A = this chain, B = another copy of it.
Amino acid sequence: MKREREKLAEKYFNCSESERAAFEAGIKLGTIYHQFVGTPINEENAGLLERAMVEGTMIQPFVIDAEVHIERGPLRSKKGEFDYVSLSGSMLAVRLVVGYGNVKVIARMKHISEINYPLMYIEDITRIEER
């Protein structure tokens, strides 16, 4: 049984289930990037920040699973008053699973060296059993 608010939201959409699922995945990746890039980070708080990013994603609509990894390389030997960095997109790796209707999307964000760009992409999109 669908929730009341989702039923109200649904009537605004004019697309297929799989397009909706892809759209929702895109929203979440854009959100992670632009909400958290810039956050002060070093080796001490990286793990906690990863968890906060996961939890902030999990509470959003249609998210089934989220994993966030912050690359520790740029954080090494950061010790002292100025020894932390601002989280940048190139340090982020995200794996996101979104489910909408009968469709499941696996989406990722990952820094791609070839194009020097934190690419957000759809790794897989499949039909699932009725939930």
Partner-B contacts on A (CB < 8 A): 3, 5-6, 8-9, 12-16, 18-31, 33-42, 44-45, 48-49, 51-52, 55-62, 80-84, 86, 88-89, 105, 107-108, 112, 114-115, 117, 119-125
Contacts and interface: CB of A to CB of B under 8 A. Distances in A.
Given A6-B82, A30-B30, A122-B20, A49 B40 contact: no
A16 B19 CA distance: 9
A90 B12 CA distance: 17
A83 to B, nearest CB: 7
Contacts of A42: 59
18 contacts: A6-B80, A6-B82, A8-B112, A9-B112, A15-B122, A22-B26, A23-B107, A23-B120, A25-B26, A26-B28, A26-B29, A26-B30, A30-B30, A34-B34, A35-B40, A37-B37, A40-B59, A49-B52
Contacts of A5: 80-83, 115, 117
Contacts of A80: 3, 5-6
A42 B63 CA distance: 15
Contacts of A27: 26-27, 29-30, 120
Contacts of A3: 80-82
